[in-house]
Amino acid sequence: MGKNHKFETNAVHGNYQSKQFLGSLTPPLFQTSTFTFNTAEQGEGRFSGNEEGMIYSRLGNPTVQLLEDKMAILEGAEKGLAFGSGMAAVSSVLLHYVEQGSHVLCSKGIYGCTFGLLKWLEEKLQITFDLLDMNTIEEIEEKISDKTACIFLETPINPTMEVIDLSKVVSAAKKHNIPVIVDNTFLSPYLQRPLEWGCDLVVHSATKYIGGHGDVVGGIVVGKAEVINEIAMHVRKDIGGIMSPFDAWLLLRGLKTLPVRMERHCDNAEKIVEKLKLHKKVDKLIYPLLTTNISEGQMSRAGGVISFTIHGEKEDAQKLLNNLHLIKVAVSLGDTETLIQHPATMTHAIVPEEQRLMMGITNQLVRLSVGLEAWEDIWEDLNQALNKL
């Protein structure tokens, strides 16, 4: 399995060879903390790096490695690395690149906890960061300094669903030899593969579309083997934000249906968007398909997340959520169930109001992660709740 197969085939098989595991069709779960050595000399060889093999599950585990390998194949990367959460992946990547006094250039909107991490790094290590629209190469270059350690961005941005042109970012970054990191959580590798556009690393909260069933928390980073090996050795190993073998096993299971699920998420979202367009209680509708030429861009489809603002105040947005029945009020996204949340008071509550508003996160904004239910049932529930405002 591998490069010669199409995405859907790789999502099912990856490079898994059942004959290596007693013919097991399903990848086995290596639920162990440590591994035995045949001899003391073998242990010495593995710790010195002169002999390949497992040592201890914080350093590597066969089930986790199968997930890392499959994610690398799907993103077109040389190597992958798994973490205990999306934020463990984000923090490990940033800690790899920055040092005291560094500067990080970010997309105008970022996940609330990513913002919180950057503020903490600013307070503790004087690591500064700028939030930028990234609409033009000139705008990006203007903010780059000799202290800029990396460019970190989301596209589409959480939760405003703004799309960033990766070719522009890469063009500006390469002039200054600055690595570009893309959080690809909202689209998954099925709909967008930033490495193909020249980006250096891709980060996922695997909790979302990679797992797809709301039953596991995890993070993934993929990129060139040299960089991934450095992050594994100097950040993940010593800080210890590892993924458990069972969580990796669940994510491997989730990946098998990723293409099928993503198509249904997109189909349902597009139908809900068409309905929301016409509803008098909806003030502004935000979905990449409405603002981006998908057929010519870096995304194959627009994904399963919709944001919209309603006429009214914060209390009206909360009333909308409280009047729903089928749709669940919860943070996260990419689950089989349709989820809705209020970013200003939930996922981005940590962001100060001035910066939150600059990001476009108003009190009237809600974020809808469209699930796999019949779209008619999703709309019926959303419509009745909107009509009560």
- pLDDT category of residue 3 using cuts at 50, 70 and 90: low
Q: What is the pTM of this model?
A: 0.95
Give the pLDDT score at 293: 75
Categorize the per-residue pLDDT at 1 as very low, low, confident or very high, splitting at 50, 70 and 90. very low
Per residue in 371-383, pLDDT (tens digit) is: 999 999 999 999 9
Contact predicate 63/82, CB 8 Å: no
Cβ–Cβ < 8 Å for 57, 245: yes
Annotated catalytic residue 335: no
Dist CA 376 CA 383 (whole Å): 10
Q: How far apart are the first and last CA of the chain?
A: 53
Q: pLDDT by residue (tens digit) across 72-107? A: 999 999 999 999 999 999 999 999 999 999 999 999
Active site residue 168: no
Flag whether pLDDT at 195 surpasses 80. yes
CATH of domain 7-30+61-255: 3.40.640.10
Q: Residues 109-120: what's their mean pLDDT?
A: 95
Model pLDDT, residue 2:
59
**Helix pair 375-387, 258-276: axis angle to 10 deg:** 40
Confidence of residue 4 (pLDDT cuts 50, 70, 90): confident
Q: Report domain extents, the chain.
A: 7-30+61-255, 259-387
Q: Assess whether 111 carries a catalytic annotation.
A: yes
Asked if residues 81 and 220 have their Cβ atoms less than 8 Å apart, the reply is yes
Identified catalytic residue from 46, 79, 111, 335: 111
Q: Check: CB of residue 243 under 8 Å from CB of residue 84.
A: yes
Q: Please return the burial class of 21, using the count of CB atoms within 10 Å of its CB with bins 0-12, 13-18 and 19+.
A: middle
Instruction: Answer whether residue 295 shows pLDDT above 70.
Output: no
What is the mean pLDDT of the segment spanning 129-138?
Answer: 95
Superfamily of domain 259-387: Aspartate Aminotransferase, domain 1 (3.90.1150.10)
When pLDDT is averaged across residues 286-292 and rounded to a whole number, the result is 89
Q: CB of 129 within 8 A of CB of 103?
A: yes
Region 342-357: what's the mean pLDDT? Answer: 95
Active site residue 208: yes
Which member of 56, 58, 119, 237 is catalytic? 58
Interval 137-187: pLDDT, tens: 999 999 999 999 999 999 999 999 999 999 999 999 999 999 999 999 999
**Of 46, 183, 200, 381, which one is the catalytic site residue?**
183
Residues 30-62: tens digit of each pLDDT: 999 999 999 999 999 999 999 999 999 999 999
Which residue in the list 46, 108, 193, 208 is annotated as catalytic?
208
pLDDT the model gives residue 188 = 98
